[in-house]
Structure 1
Amino acid sequence: MSAAPELGLLRNRTFDELAVGDSAAIERTLTMQDIQLFALQSGDVNPQHIDPAYAASTRFHGVVAHGMWGGALISGVLGTRLPGPGTIYLEQDLRFLKPVRVGDTLQVAVTVAALDPSTRQVLLDCRCVNQHGDCVIEGRARVIAPDERVERPRASLPELRLETAGGDGVRRLLDHVRKLGVIRMAVVHPCTAPSLAAALAARDAGLIEPVLVAPRAKLDAVAAQAGLDLTGLRIEDVPHSHAAAAHAAELARNGAVEALMKGSLHTDELMSAVLASDAGLRTKRRASHCFLMQVATYPRPFIITDAAINIAPTLEQKADIIRNAIDLAHAIGVECPRVAILAAVETVNPVMPATLDAAALCKMADRGQISGGVLDGPLAFDNAVSPAAAQIKDIVSPVAGQADILVVPDLESGNLLAKQLEFMGQAASAGIVLGTRVPVVLTSRADGEEARIASCAIAVLLAHRYRTTPP
């Protein structure tokens, strides 16, 4: 396996550094924008790809990607990962086995199959596999590998989502955090290829020293099937996922690790172990989850809370949720975050409990019970993030139209908002649990590698902060 490239840099592999069996991969989720951009660049405006009404009447019953979109992703791996910059593309054969639809996530992998020292030519097997494990494209590529090392600032396809019009806040966070130094993180039951690969990618990015807490036999099987190398990793062998969660909490309590990361077990299973009365990881505050997000249409990163832990928080619990979010905002450099407490409307309505809570929380802030930020609410989503919407509705507020933190009424609304922004708004995202003695990274099975690494970066930032300022 080739090592994952350092975030922010492109590094190649010269011919002499290659060996049969070396491989590299990227992961990409197809969006309608991808299809439209590919049609614009290629001139292929076949209605099968860009006309949903026509596509619905075809044998595929909907829009599918251009076949060569997958071929372009293979080119991206060859040109940026293996062999990398300086590679000369000679030939490619591809077989298109199944359609790729909007929302499909492809793992695009190339593997060195043969080397010719006399010509520096490299033959590579190429495969694109979707989220169901189905191979949709396969074939072989022949390239000439570079003979000189290249290291350049990275601007490759897999990181496109971080290059938003509103700035590069997430990438700047990663660049900053990597300078702080590696922390030891327990990765709890990473018994699927994505969760295990994410732990290794965070390690290779210089963020964490992973401690894998899981049944050793399962880890070995997953690693073998995915082609991942566990050499040199510390593995805490436990019988099952429940034991993994309990042991990871014990490691955190004893100071053996400074953060926890969810693998392939359920969120409630991990958090039950973390919040158990005898685990020693509770603080005086209610634990809550924060999504740090950035979209092209908003000028700064923002926080959504709570969309993962507290199902229907009480007024007192919402106060802690806000305090935790303000602490995270401070940690990422926002000195006085603007906190919008969301509801369906921006006026107090006695029959809408969310508006009453919002008004009470603002008064708590006025009385100093919540500090460190500026609160306003109730605010509807539009006038919380749009200055134009706030102006149209005659809302005069230091928060309206420029919120740094969005506090949702309950978990369902928060989860819907975050997922909509991620999957339809192409938001870059990361998530973390606060209100515990150590930061906890809660990943979703649908999260890509970038989201998992960004979440680890926030955990690193908080872990270093907790060394001098314990929660």
Structure 2
Amino acid sequence: MTATPDTPDKYSTLLARCAGLAPVPTAVAHPCDVSSLTGALDAANLGLIEPILVGPEAKIRSVAQEAALSLENVKIIDVPHSHASAERAVLAVREGEAEMLMKGSLHSDELLHEVARGASGLRTERRLSHVFAMDVPAYHKPLFITDAAVNIFPKLADKADIVQNAIDLVQALGIATPKVAILAAVETVSDKMPSTIDAAALCKMADRGQIVGGLLDGPLAFDNAINAEAARIKGITSLVAGDPDILLVPDLEAGNMLAKQLTFLAGAESAGIVLGARVPVILTSRADTVRARIGSCAIAVLLAHARRAGKTPEAL
């Protein structure tokens, strides 16, 4: 990720934290384009994962030949198409062959449908949610945005799971008490904006121990959430404003636009992961760079090892 003379390369820092950890067996669903296959094999070469490639073997080998990638000593499970790839990759996790799941060149919905399937999927009592881990050059530390990819219009109970998933993730990455800014268009509670009421309720839920491990504040508009001076000018006294680790967005549309604006206008780099399943799900975009895929793998590896050590909830 991005580095300046005064700040370390967060991408390199993330990989350094994985140094010495054993590679994690990972079912890679349908790695049938150059980007997804390269990402999986590069992660293997860095010692992050032990890939199990699930998809049409002839197609995988054709892509590897086209990109001059070696498949030596890489396990391939031959299935006919993308739907079968998703189904078989989930089965690999259920049967203990893999401890992580990684999206290849299939649609996210296709993979998550199998993850969320009742009897044969990987669901837990916790709701599935997505987190973008972002390195924004203008911000002083990693920034985690949730949920911008899975839950479209989450209700209050959904948001409680979404924020708890994110808190648990950030704690597993070494931040003891993550600061959570709950975003809305304004920083005051108004019955005309349901997101502000949800924000206030989530803060009270944290006060009552229904959400644990983080420091929550909201509603906060984006300016006073991310900038301490903007909060000061508006008279907001907050331990979160200007220094959040996590931004909880009101809905998927807002989150998706925010994450993409940071990427394309602010030069941010991102990694993506789905939480709330039995194992971490590395859910990257087909447009993601190999670097973004590696970052996502590194986060998932740290989570998987934290689970082995009993340091995270089973839902992660």
TM-score, structure 1 normalization: 0.65
Q: 1:392 to 1:310 in 2, by over 3 A?
A: same
Which residue is 1:214 aligned to?
Answer: 55
Question: Which has the higher mean CA deviation after the structures are superposed, 163-172 or 183-192?
Answer: 163-172
Residue 197 of structure 2 aligns with which residue?
356
The answer to whether the 8 A contact 2:101-2:280 is kept is: yes
Match of 1:226 in 2: 67
The unaligned stretches of length 5 or more in structure 2 are none
Q: Which residue of 1 aligns with 2:230?
A: 389
Q: Provide the residue aligned with 2:288 in structure 1.
A: 447
What's the counterpart of residue 262 of structure 2?
A: 421
Q: Does 1:311 align with 2:149?
A: no
| Conservation of the 8 A alpha-carbon contact between 1:340 and 1:403 | yes
Letter of the 1:418 counterpart? A
Amino acid at match of 1:276: R
Q: Which amino acid aligns with 2:86?
A: A
Match of residue 247 from structure 1: 88
Q: 1:167 to 1:384 in 2, by over 3 A?
A: farther
In structure 2, the partner of 1:461 is: 302
Question: Hey, what does 1:335 align to over in structure 2?
Answer: 176
CA distance in 2, matches of 1:432, 1:179: 22
Give the partner amino acid of 2:254.
S
Deviation at 1:280, TM superposition (A): 4.5
Matched, 1:366 2:207: yes
Q: Secondary structure at the match of 2:127?
A: coil
- Aligned equivalent of 2:24: 183
1:101-140 aligned within 5 A:
none
Instruction: Please state how far the C-alpha of 1:224 moved relative to its aligned partner.
Output: 1.8
Q: Would you tell me which structure has more strand in proportion to its own residues?
A: 1
Q: Which has the higher helix share?
A: 2
| Aligned residue among 159, 162, 169 for 2:2 | 162
Q: Contact conserved, 1:166 with 1:300, CA < 8 A, in 2?
A: no
Cα distance, 1:162 vs structure 2 = 2.6
C-alpha change, 1:353 and 1:166, in structure 2 (3 Å) is farther
* In structure 1, distance between residues paired with 2:68 and 2:263: 29
> Distance in 2 between the 1:384 and 1:167 partners?
24
1:162·1:171 contact (CA, 8 Å) conserved in 2?
A: no
What is the alpha-carbon distance in structure 1 between the residues aligned to residue 175 and residue 291 of structure 2?
A: 23
- 3-state SS in 2 of match to 1:273: helix
Q: Using the TM superposition, give the Cα deviation of residue 167 of structure 1 relative to its aligned residue in structure 2, in angstroms.
A: 3.6
Percentage of pairs with the same residue: 59
Per-residue CA distance 1:177-231 (angstroms, 9 max, x = gap):
1322211111100101111111111111111111000001111221122222212
| 1:432 counterpart = 2:273 | yes
Please identify runs of 4+ aligned residues in structure 1 that moved more than 6 A.
Answer: none
| Number of aligned positions between the proteins | 311
Secondary structure of the equivalent of 1:248? helix
1:287 corresponds to 2:128: yes
The 1:272/1:290 distance shift into structure 2, 3 A limit, reads: same
> What is the alpha-carbon distance in structure 1 between the residues aligned to residue 77 and residue 124 of structure 2?
26
Query: Which residue matches 1:30?
Result: none
Q: Kindly indicate whether the alpha-carbon contact (under 8 Å) linking 1:340 and 1:399 is maintained by their aligned counterparts in 2.
A: yes
Query: Which is further off, 221-230 or 185-194?
Result: 221-230
C-alpha contact (below 8 Å) 1:170/1:428 kept by paired residues: no
TM-score (structure 2 length as normaliser): 0.96
Segments of 5+ residues of structure 1 without an aligned counterpart are 1-160
Partner of 1:84: none
Deviation for aligned residue 1:462: 0.7
| Residue type of the alignment partner of 2:228 | P
